Amino acid sequence: MFQSSTYKSRRETLKKEMGSGLLLFLGNDDMGLHYADNAFRYRQDSTFLYYFGISSAGLSAVIDIDNDTTILFGDELTMDHIIWMGVQPTLVDKASQVGITNVRPSKELSNYLAKNKGQTIHHLPAYRAEHQLKFLALLNEQPGSQNPSIPLIQAVVKQRNIKTSEEIVEIEKACNITADMHIAATKAISADLYEYEVAALIEYTAAKNNAELSFATIASINGQTLHNHYHGNKCKDGRLFLIDAGAEVPSGYAGDMSSTVPVSKHFTAKQRAVYEIQNRMHLAAVAGIKPGLPFTELHNIAMRELAEGMKELGIMKGNIDEAVREGAHALFCPHGLGHMMGLDVHDMENFGEQWVGYDGKPKSTQFGRASLRLGQPLKPGFVHTIEPGIYFIPDLIDKWKGEHLHTDFINYDELEKYRDFGGIRNEEDYLVTETGGKRLGKKIPLTPEEVEALR
Amino acid sequence: MFQSSTYKSRRETLKKEMGSGLLLFLGNDDMGLHYADNAFRYRQDSTFLYYFGISSAGLSAVIDIDNDTTILFGDELTMDHIIWMGVQPTLVDKASQVGITNVRPSKELSNYLAKNKGQTIHHLPAYRAEHQLKFLALLNEQPGSQNPSIPLIQAVVKQRNIKTSEEIVEIEKACNITADMHIAATKAISADLYEYEVAALIEYTAAKNNAELSFATIASINGQTLHNHYHGNKCKDGRLFLIDAGAEVPSGYAGDMSSTVPVSKHFTAKQRAVYEIQNRMHLAAVAGIKPGLPFTELHNIAMRELAEGMKELGIMKGNIDEAVREGAHALFCPHGLGHMMGLDVHDMENFGEQWVGYDGKPKSTQFGRASLRLGQPLKPGFVHTIEPGIYFIPDLIDKWKGEHLHTDFINYDELEKYRDFGGIRNEEDYLVTETGGKRLGKKIPLTPEEVEALR
């Protein structure tokens, strides 16, 4: 938790940006895994955390701009809570730590909203079923036809997209732990282990540093599957092992890195050749980070490296600029170069990518580019990932080949030799500065040599 | 997953028990942590798992007894799923593995229910907000006024309460990993560690054995707080460290054990004296397990040991039978002796304890006994925990003392000497056999000597 002045100033900025109306924020509740009381780990809503700082279930808040008042709605603990959950500061104490003096019982929220019916009520989109139920109960908004406020989304995005120095300190903590998670796994991977044993080590490294996971760990010999959470395979000599994992520190900020390691001690010549293309993509993207450059351009820079490298291997052919424009490279990288990162690992993804990553402008619908979550011109204070990948996805290859897609650019015969290759991704986190990009957190191995040195 | 015959026979038994009507089962969906796509670990609903065996999001099922048909509602994977989540068996294949041949797209469920309007539709209680939204959409049942079927609850409880030998094999796997989690922590605890480092080791032991957690780990020097999930304290010589943690194996079955360890290598004389009382409670309860005995009686047996021990220490006084009847002992053990365990760590708690643990009969409202989740006469095939505890809860002591509660039985002056003692709990899992109780899983240390031998 930051100083109370941080939260007060964040709320003041938001009030000025919005000008008028009533801003309603729902905190997150506990969610039952098997039954209500056996809850998943508690995670406060990130926007609630950003403006109100308190990480407890059962809270809502109102910033009533027209009546110049900010109210936290929630209930004090009972003796039963104290017996089962321990002594805690009162809600009034917690509120005062984030600069709020007006605390009311949660049951008063619906009356407060009813009394202020004339006002425009702004709220954010519901990404949990519990939020849909609350909007139904509080505002009679039916599930499926709920009405988030675009001006509020825009105002929150404008603010949360620019990270302050105290936020960078927290993100850097998360990135350092994230790097340790990757380095521990890189050292340990061997054909003796199951994927879940590697995943266990990655997650242990987070937990013993008092961190949660910022997202579900990917740790797989099937790196060609982009978000593969199945960890039941035995590692196998000759395969590549792909890790995508990150830490979330107690303040809520995330890290997010990927790395790719040969199960055997060394890369094969074929793996090394593809790995070096991935590295070229990565370095070209990092070198290109600068304020004002649209992230779509950075994506194109990396994808041109991909297509050129594939052409050198004989897998692609023809005019590279044209191939990238047409999206032929996306057979090998169907995802985007990166995304915003902050209190969420895909920052504010619940608001919709067009608002967070595209400043409201439309996004490409082309296969591959449609999965690019960030497109707008970079600004100092943005924190984003750089995570180019190269994958050989048998089902996708068969589909494209069967549909004769991009036959001017893809040499399907040569491609067959790589069918069982797997996938490679490396990922780092960058802060956009006034002059370029600054890596956040310790360095993880990025080149074949750096990886082999740890094996 | 068991053989398809297991699921078919479970459904047949349920159909016979219910006799008529349409039974509607909702599977669980993914739930967003920060945003919809950043999901918590997926956990299928336990009853769905019991009758339909498939652990995937987006499924529902109908057992239409009147029309003698069983239908799985869900959608096949698209190419996008394959790219992001990998190749998987089709839903039709998965269904056939659990003996279901009728698979329909999920959007057909609401039509199916509408067409069969004349039938009685039975469903279970909603313990997740997503279920409430679905019952609203499918059956127009308003949140807060939903209408679970008591006959269905009773039929499912009757069946799930009796564990078969193939279920016991799975529970025993979970219990063995659970025991390893406790033994690893017992060996490692020291004043050099933070609580979260011990919790990390416990959870690592589960994960490297390909197990999830059956509930959120308790690992704390403040054992007097019953469900303490705060792990930010440094361990401290002289304190007791209480662990309550369990594994869930891939089939979904749970283990649940507790142990208590001195942060220093040895117990102090005071700690040993209280620990030995806890051990007497535990052993008396285990020795008492037999079919036909109400679990309330087993609870009383343990609580009488508690009160007698406390009297020997000079903390309690007066007539022990009377003290236990009046509930004076509950100052030191405000929870129950145990609970049912199976696919849920508190098995079927979402149905309500009166149905699962009390066969529909009313439960005591006395402080302490009100928290006893299991009360009914034991039957062969029940699996339950035995987990007596002794706690010194400063806020509760002050409350009772201030209200002059049970002054005939409690010597509040003597009690002051134990104010900062903390808490002790040990817990094992038992199967009720024809003749008594059988411990499930490896033995964990239960006596002061056994604990010290591992330190």
Same-domain pairing of A233 and A377: yes
Between chains, do B35 and A127 touch, taking CB under 8 Å as contact? yes
For residue A118, what pLDDT is reported?
Answer: 85
Among partner residues A32, A84, A216, which is closest to B227 by beta-carbon distance?
A84
For residue B352, what pLDDT is reported?
Answer: 92
Between chains, do A231 and B210 touch, taking CB under 8 Å as contact? yes
Last residue of a domain, one of B159, B192, B222: B159
* Cβ–Cβ contact A87 with B under 8 A: yes
Same-domain pairing of B96 and B199: no
Between chains, do B207 and A204 touch, taking CB under 8 Å as contact? yes
- Give the minimum alpha-carbon distance from A77 to chain B in angstroms, rounded to a whole number: 13
For residue B81, what pLDDT is reported?
Answer: 80
For residue B180, what pLDDT is reported?
Answer: 98
For residue A229, what pLDDT is reported?
Answer: 80
Regarding beta strands B437-439 and B69-73, do their DSSP bridges make them parallel or antiparallel, or are they unpaired?
A: unpaired
Q: How confident is the model at residue B365 (pLDDT cuts 50, 70, 90)?
A: very high
Among partner residues A39, A143, A344, which is closest to B133 by beta-carbon distance?
A143
Among partner residues A31, A231, A334, which is closest to B83 by beta-carbon distance?
A334
Taking residue B76's Cβ as centre, other Cβ atoms within 10 Å add up to: 11
Q: What angle do CA A211, A440, A293 make, to 5 degrees?
A: 130
Tell me which chain A residue has its CA closest to the CA of residue B392.
Answer: A83
A 398-437 residues with CB < 8 A to B: 399
CATH number of the domain that residue A305 is part of: 3.90.230.10
For residue A61, what pLDDT is reported?
Answer: 98
For residue A88, what pLDDT is reported?
Answer: 81
Last residue of a domain, one of B129, B159, B189: B159
In whole angstroms, what is the distance from residue A136 CA to residue B453 CA?
58
Flag whether pLDDT at B287 surpasses 80.
Answer: yes
Question: Which chain A residues have a beta carbon less than 8 Å from that of B32?
Answer: 127-128, 350
Q: How confident is the model at residue B88 (pLDDT cuts 50, 70, 90)?
A: confident
Asked if A99 and A111 touch (Cβ cutoff 8 Å), the reply is no
* Cβ–Cβ contact A361 with B under 8 A: no
Beta strands in A211-366 (DSSP E): 212-213, 218-220, 240-245, 247-248, 257-262
Q: CA B289 from chain center: how many Å?
A: 19
Find all residues with CB under 8 Å of B258, minimum gap 6, and list them: B182, B218, B242, B243, B244, B245, B387, B389, B425, B426, B427
Asked if B104 and B86 touch (Cβ cutoff 8 Å), the reply is no
B 90-129 residues with CB < 8 A to A: 127-129
Among partner residues B34, B196, B226, which is closest to A43 by beta-carbon distance?
B34
For residue A308, what pLDDT is reported?
Answer: 98
Among partner residues A41, A86, A346, which is closest to B38 by beta-carbon distance?
A346
Between chains, do A127 and B199 touch, taking CB under 8 Å as contact? no
CATH number of the domain that residue A12 is part of: 3.40.350.10
* Cβ–Cβ contact A207 with B under 8 A: yes
Taking 50 as the pLDDT cut, the residues of chain A under it are none
Among partner residues B127, B208, B230, which is closest to A197 by beta-carbon distance?
B208
Regarding beta strands B218-220 and B240-245, do their DSSP bridges make them parallel or antiparallel, or are they unpaired?
A: antiparallel
Residue type, B151: P
Residue of A30, A35, A425 best to disrupt the B interface, most CBs of B under 10 A: A35
In whole angstroms, what is the distance from residue A386 CA to residue A428 CA?
5
For residue A58, what pLDDT is reported?
Answer: 96
Weakest-pLDDT range from A115-119, B50-54, B395-399: A115-119
Q: Which residues of A191-211 are buried (b: 16+ CB within 10 A; e: fewer)?
A: eebbbbbbbbbbbbbbbbbbb
Tell me which chain B residue has its CA closest to the CA of residue A49.
Answer: B34
Same-domain pairing of A140 and A175: no
* Cβ–Cβ contact B204 with A under 8 A: yes
For residue B144, what pLDDT is reported?
Answer: 86
For residue B225, what pLDDT is reported?
Answer: 87
Same-domain pairing of A108 and A198: no
B13, B120, B149, B156, B394 from B16: Cα distances, Å? 5, 16, 16, 12, 53
Question: Which chain B residues have a beta carbon less than 8 Å from that of A204?
Answer: 200-201, 203-204, 207
Residue of B33, B88, B197, B210 best to disrupt the A interface, most CBs of A under 10 A: B33
- Give the minimum alpha-carbon distance from A435 to chain B in angstroms, rounded to a whole number: 31
In whole angstroms, what is the distance from residue A245 CA to residue A234 CA?
19
Asked if B24 and B113 touch (Cβ cutoff 8 Å), the reply is yes
In whole angstroms, what is the distance from residue B50 CA to residue B72 CA?
14
Tell me which chain A residue has its CA closest to the CA of residue B218.
Answer: A85
For residue A116, what pLDDT is reported?
Answer: 80
Same-domain pairing of A191 and A146: no
Same-domain pairing of B190 and B60: no
* Cβ–Cβ contact A32 with B under 8 A: yes
State the DSSP H helix or E strand holding residue B61, giving kind and residue range, or none if neither.
strand B60-64
The percent of residues above 90 in pLDDT, for chain B, comes to 91
pTM, 2 dp: 0.96
In whole angstroms, what is the distance from residue B241 CA to residue B271 CA?
12
Phi-psi region of A341 (alpha: psi -120 to 50; beta: other; left: phi over 0): beta
For residue A63, what pLDDT is reported?
Answer: 98
Regarding beta strands B121-123 and B22-26, do their DSSP bridges make them parallel or antiparallel, or are they unpaired?
A: parallel
Last residue of a domain, one of B159, B176, B198: B159
Question: Which chain A residues have a beta carbon less than 8 Å from that of B200?
Answer: 204, 207-208
* Cβ–Cβ contact A373 with B under 8 A: no
Q: How many domains does one find in chain A?
A: 2
Flag whether pLDDT at B2 surpasses 80.
Answer: yes
Between chains, do B129 and A127 touch, taking CB under 8 Å as contact? no
Flag whether pLDDT at B20 surpasses 90.
Answer: yes
Interface size between A and B, measured as CB pairs under 8 A: 180
Tell me which chain B residue has its CA closest to the CA of residue A46.
Answer: B34
Mean predicted confidence (pLDDT) in B43-70:
97
Question: Which chain A residues have a beta carbon less than 8 Å from that of B194?
Answer: 210
Same-domain pairing of A247 and A169: yes
Same-domain pairing of A128 and A223: no
Mean predicted confidence (pLDDT) in B15-30:
97
For residue B182, what pLDDT is reported?
Answer: 98
Residue A24: domain span: 4-159
Tell me which chain A residue has its CA closest to the CA of residue B254.
Answer: A34
Find all residues with CB under 8 Å of B438, minimum gap 6, and list them: B430, B431
Question: Which chain B residues have a beta carbon less than 8 Å from that of A348?
Answer: 35
Q: CA A98 from chain center: how many Å?
A: 26
Same-domain pairing of A142 and A198: no
In whole angstroms, what is the distance from residue A109 CA to residue A27 CA?
13
Between chains, do A35 and B349 touch, taking CB under 8 Å as contact? yes
Residue of A31, A48, A49, A83 best to disrupt the B interface, most CBs of B under 10 A: A83
Same-domain pairing of B127 and B224: no
**Block residue for tokens 């469900």:** B227
Closest among A32, A37, A41 to A129, alpha carbons compared: A32
Flag whether pLDDT at B117 surpasses 80.
Answer: no
Same-domain pairing of A200 and A153: no
Between chains, do B34 and A143 touch, taking CB under 8 Å as contact? no
Between chains, do A85 and B222 touch, taking CB under 8 Å as contact? no
In whole angstroms, what is the distance from residue A451 CA to residue A436 CA?
26
In whole angstroms, what is the distance from residue B179 CA to residue B194 CA?
21
Q: How confident is the model at residue B111 (pLDDT cuts 50, 70, 90)?
A: very high
Asked if B253 and B171 touch (Cβ cutoff 8 Å), the reply is yes
* Cβ–Cβ contact B215 with A under 8 A: yes
Q: Which residues of B101-131 are buried (b: 16+ CB within 10 A; e: fewer)?
A: eebbeeeebeebbeebeeeebbbbbbbbbbb
B30, B43, B146, B350 from B126: Cα distances, Å? 15, 15, 8, 8
Tokens of A142: 């039916």
Q: How confident is the model at residue B79 (pLDDT cuts 50, 70, 90)?
A: confident
Residue type, A419: R
Question: Which chain B residues have a beta carbon less than 8 Å from that of A395?
Answer: 79, 82-83, 87
Flag whether pLDDT at B228 surpasses 80.
Answer: no
Same-domain pairing of B409 and B260: yes
